[in-house]
Each structure stands twice: as C-alpha cells, then as structure tokens.
Structure 1
C-alpha cells in the first residue's frame, strides 16, 4: 500500500500512458527507484498514441498524477510557459511542504523549465535533471531548431536565480533549447547523462567557466533495464519459423538510410542455403521503405513486417527471438564515436534473447555486452556475423 503523500516529484512532459521513448525511460526510472512519486505531465493526445500497459507498469508507485493540457509544441514558449505556470499551480494547490526532490528529463524541454522554477522558488530541496540526448543537436550533427526565449515575465524569475555572469550568458543564448540545457547546468543539484560521450559533447557547448562545475555534478546512468519478471510473464513464442531458422527481432522504426540498409545488403549476400534459414521481423507502423529495399535486394521472403506491440507485450515477445537487432547511426559528426546510446538496448538487455549490435567502434553501444557484433559500414563483417549466428544453431 502506497503512502498517502509522496516526497518525490517527477516532472515529465511526456509520460505514460503516451507511447514515447522518453516516457518509457521515466517510467523505468520510477520502477528502479522504488519509492512513491507524484507526477506532473502533459496531455499528448494530439501527437502520441496511448499504451495502457505503460501506465500499468508505473501505476504502483504513483500517488498523484496531474496531466496538464497545453498546446503541444516542441521548443516554443506558447507551449512551455503555460505548462510551467499550470504545473506550478498544481504543486501549490496540492502540496504544503516542499518536496525533498524533483526529477525532470528532456526531451521535451518543458520538463526542465518547470523543475527549475520549483527548485529556485523553494518547492523542492534538490533537483535531478536528466538529459536523454544532446539537446542542441540532431543525430546528423545539424542544430535543432528552437524558438526564442522572451526576457520578461516568468523567464526573469529564472534569470534572477543565477549569478550575473550566468545572466549575461543566458541573455546571449535566449532560445528554448539553449536554456533547457544551460539552466539545469547552472541550477540542478545533479545532472544525469546516459553516457560519457554525450556529456563531453554537451560540455563542449558550454563556456569554459561553466564546465568544471557541471562535471562535478554529473552522473553517468544508462537507461535502466527492468527486472527479469517483466520479460517472463505470459511470454508467447516467436512467430512460426522453420526448424533451424535463425530469427531476428527489431522493434521500432527501421531506417534503411541510417545503417539499416547495410544490414539488409548483408542478408542479400548470404549464400542461398544460409539465407533461407534467416528471418527478420520488424515491428513498426511504417515499413514501406523497408519492404521496398528488401524486395529490390531479393530478400522479401526474409523480412516480415509486424504490427507494433504494447510496451509490456514487446518485452515478453522479445524473448522468443534468437537475436534482437540494434544499431548506431551511420556516421558521427561530433568528434566522438557517438554521443547517442540507443534506448532500446536497455530493453533488449533484459531479454533472454541475445543482442545483435551494429556499432561505431568505441561508441557507448560498442562498449556494451553484445552476443553478436559488427561495425557500421562493414557489410562483409555483418555478413560474416550473420553466418556465425545462423551456423551456431547447427
């Protein structure tokens, strides 16, 4: 039985039951911490579908769950300011004493803005800010577009919470995404990154006078993996395959132009007697381009499109495969092998199926335990890896 009040507040713009990668990670953080929490989140009905199994996953730890209705705009004050103000109102109406801790996670940027206000105005004694990815950059190294920050009203309250030097810096970098990174850098008590290369890329965006203090408060914490019981319950067998067939599962959008094409090409290069013993099931809502490429390469019989599964059903189904495919992006323009650790690795890692990883050498994914591994751009190496995997069933 949960306590009637929670001493920890979760601020997560994207939160269950909405299907969103960051919502899943926040839910797993709550399971991992195993303490009662209150939650302030947004209504994402306009942009995300619902997955009630995600809410079932996190429900045992929820005391109060407040859903805020605001315009759903990514890096835009027209969405951010009402989320902050309505979230503050919810805390003031429902809470007497300050929370001992507030936790927030990007993406989306809204979460850090509300948490910063709560921490700076005394509604929480400690603030943990987690970053899912480098906020300012897309995976291809291009800048993420961002709306401007107006230096008036509620935003002036955040400016007053930092020193003069930091105020000048924030005025010079008055965009939503810049503030979503640098306000936590200035005010959060703990900064959580999923891998060290992500930390290094984000530190490079900060002025030198800020970096040492950020590193002092930084924690590296990869996406959590749920306990084995979440994979074992009511697990259904994999889809029917021929005896001796090596089955690979992939859950999520499959991008032939982001490294996935190399994997398909490697399948096409297998000798016919091995290729007929391989299946790739891709669970995705949109497989048009994937199936086109597979047909062009002559491997249409090897690639099967499956309907997306609810999160908890996905965990259970994953164990029916011989391998679960995960890959790094095709190139890394950041000066490090990769600042991105694919979040699905943490879900695959708890499954009895082995991970089959296509990695950038030295990337966070490359450093993880993987049963099968090859490298981005090495089609011959991927073919050899598939050969080893298929013949391992002999």
Structure 2
C-alpha cells in the first residue's frame, strides 16, 4: 500500500521502489494516480517494473489528510483487492508520509486480506520539521471506526477514542495492529514513541526495527554521467539534488562560500538540481556568487544516479531542529542515494543527528559558517 508510487516521483515513492528492489520479490501495488501533483519518471517505473505483478492506480481526490481523499482511497483499494478474499496475501506493506497508505493497510489486516502487516514511517507523523504540530482534522467519517475499534482491546479503544484525529490514528493504529514497525533512525522512533502512553511504547518496541533508506548496488548507477560530466579541469564541482532552501541551511552555505579565499572560490562550482532556484540564485547574486552557483533542471532518477558519479562531492544537509529532545528525528533520504555513488559525500550536520552518525568524507556542523568554509577549503585543496 503506497499512496505515492512510481511512475510518480517524490522521496517516498523512490524509497518504496527501493524497498521493492531490496526485497527482490514480486508485489502487487495499490497506489494513487498523482498526475495532478507529481511529475512522472519513466526510469523509476522501469526500475521496479520487473517485480510488479499488478498495479492498481486509483483515481481519488489528492489531499494530504482530508476525508474526501482518505476514505475513497481505502474504499477503492479494498475493492481492488476483493479477489484476495479466498487466498489472502502473506504480507502487506505500507509507508507514510501520506496517511492514506496506513489506513488502507489497516483495513487489509482487519479484513484478513493479509496475514502480516509491516508499517514504515518516513518521518514523525505528528510533527513538522520545525517542531510545530501538524494540523489534523477529526477522524470521523474517514474510515470504518467501529471496525478498527473492534479489532483492538478495551484499553486501546479508550486511547483511540481520546486521540481522534487523522494523523494520530495514522500513527497509533499501526502501533496497535501492525506486526512490524519500521523507522528510519533511532531518534525518529524515540520522538514518535513519546507521543504514545507507556503501555503502548512497551508493546511497540519488540515489533520495531530501524532500517535507513535503502542504497542501491553499483550496477544501478551505470557509467554514463551524461552532459553534466562536462567540466573545466581545475573546477571542484559539488552536486546538490533536491530543493535548496536558503533559509534552511542554504543561506549559511552561501555565506561560507563567500568567505573562501579568492583562488578557492574561483575553483568552486555548486550545481543545484531543483525545479525552482530563483530565491537561491537571487541570494547567490547578492553575495557575488553568480558564477559559483548554477541552476540545473531536475533529472530522472536513473540519470541522477549516473550523473552523481561525475561530481567531486555530493552535498547533503540537516535542517536545524531543536525542540524534540534529540538532535534530530529526520534522516535525509538523499543520503542513501549518495552513499551508493562513486562520488564522496559532503555533509552539513547537527551534532549527534542520524545524518551526523553516517559516514561522509567531509563534515561540518549546521550554524558553524566558519567551519563550513573550512570544510569547503579543505576539500578544494585536497583535490589539487
């Protein structure tokens, strides 16, 4: 159960596709038609196609946590799987971050259409990256509440009736019913368990596993980097793939670049592959870095993997968060793609965060502009 699945591309769709490749087992897929909100990537779909037996693409309203979207997805999904009444699946897998996936998987489990349920959480369901609580409407009318409540004990029923919002149920129903709960890092699990009472925490822990986003083996990266491989011989090229937020760590990177000695700055090129870099380019221009920072159009997934190897460094960064009681519950999924590339990783991290605990050739810390500048200078000089 994956609300977002190839050919539509976003971080969750890529991770689910890589989970399928990692398992190397045939699957049936129930997903949404995301034509209105996501771009298509044929290369990503072709990557996972050998393992997809049936792909039920459901046409439903696309809204993050709205009754008009979740309920139709569950209803249409159960209808698509009606043929499994006589021969249930051995297992069902679902992944957020869209709550729809877990609601459909819960119904599959309750209706005995699958013997085992694995539920994966990409990020904390209830919290934004800045520590603010995600808004969520009442659960009323979203799914068959009575059917869910009848599948749990009296104490769990009381708890669910006290926590009756969509995102709370998208977290706590899997906590109660899934056979396995997958978190991408220890700090994410800790933050999410804090939202639950002690008795539920104790029930979740034995069924939980930590599984960072999968990294594909080298053969998926290929050896053709395409036009992005063209470079001047003295350039030190850093690739950044994904949205670049000047106000979420990108600004201090640009400031760090501006502090470099002129010879090092003149050699540096930062290629940002993103749909919209207008704010970034304006910020770079104000710092006199228009010749250093370059906009590149986003690449299809397989071309991105191939192009990554042409760079001297691949940049990934934490977004500063402090209100969770841990360094950060977020592990950037892009790290897993970089980890399989022949190019080394350059990371700007929060001390002690999941990203900080991962290997990288060069590291500096969020908020330390001088340290980031020193890291950049060291990398450029090492390349001589």
Q: Same fold (TM over 0.5)?
A: yes
The answer for unaligned runs of 5 or more in structure 1 is 1-10
- Select the residue among 255, 261, 281 that pairs with 2:245: 255
Question: Which residue of structure 2 aligns with residue 211 of structure 1?
Answer: 201
Matches within 5 A, 1:92-241: 92-93=82-83, 96-150=86-140, 154-236=144-226, 238-241=228-231
Q: Take 1:63 and 1:100, find their aligned partners in 2: how far apart are those partners?
A: 15
Matches within 5 A, 1:29-40: 29-40=19-30
Measured in 2, the distance between the counterparts of 1:153 and 1:218 equals 25
Number of the residue aligned with 1:22: 12
**Is residue 304 of structure 1 aligned with residue 302 of structure 2?**
no
Report how far residue 236 of structure 1 moved. Answer: 2.5
- Contact 2:84–2:113 (8 Å) recurs in 1: no
Match of 1:63 in 2: 53
1:3 maps to none
Partner of 1:340: 330
Q: CA RMSD in A?
A: 1.2
In the alignment, the residues of structure 2 paired with residue 325 and residue 131 of structure 1 have an alpha-carbon distance, to the nearest angstrom, of 24
- Equivalents in 2 of 1:29, 1:332: separation in Å? 30
Change (3 A) 1:172 1:389: same
The partner residue of 1:82 within 67, 72, 93 is: 72
- Preserved contact between residue 76 and residue 148 of structure 1 (Cα < 8 Å): no
Q: How does 1:367-382 map to 2 (within 5 A)?
A: 367-382=357-372
Give the gaps of 5 or more residues in structure 2.
none
Deviates more, 1:327-336 or 1:274-283: 327-336
Runs (4+) of structure 1 moved beyond 4 Å?
none
Change in Cα spacing, 1:81 to 1:301, as seen in structure 2 (3 Å) is same
Whether the 8 Å contact between 1:242 and 1:277 is mirrored in structure 2 is no
Deviations 1:137-175 (A, max 9, x none): 000000111121116971211111111111111111111
Deviations 1:3-23 (A, max 9, x none): xxxxxxxx0001000011100
> Aligned-pair distance for 1:241?
2.8
Q: Number of paired residues?
A: 384
Question: Is it true that 1:359 corresponds to 2:358 in the alignment?
Answer: no
Q: C-alpha distance in 2, partners of 1:295/1:132?
A: 35
Q: Which secondary structure does the structure 2 equivalent of 1:325 belong to?
A: strand
The structural deviation recorded for 1:95 is: 5.9
Moved more, 93-102 or 209-218: 93-102
When normalised by structure 1's length, the TM-score is 0.95
Instruction: Tell me how far 1:49 sits from its aligned partner.
Output: 1.1
Matched residue SS, 2:129: coil
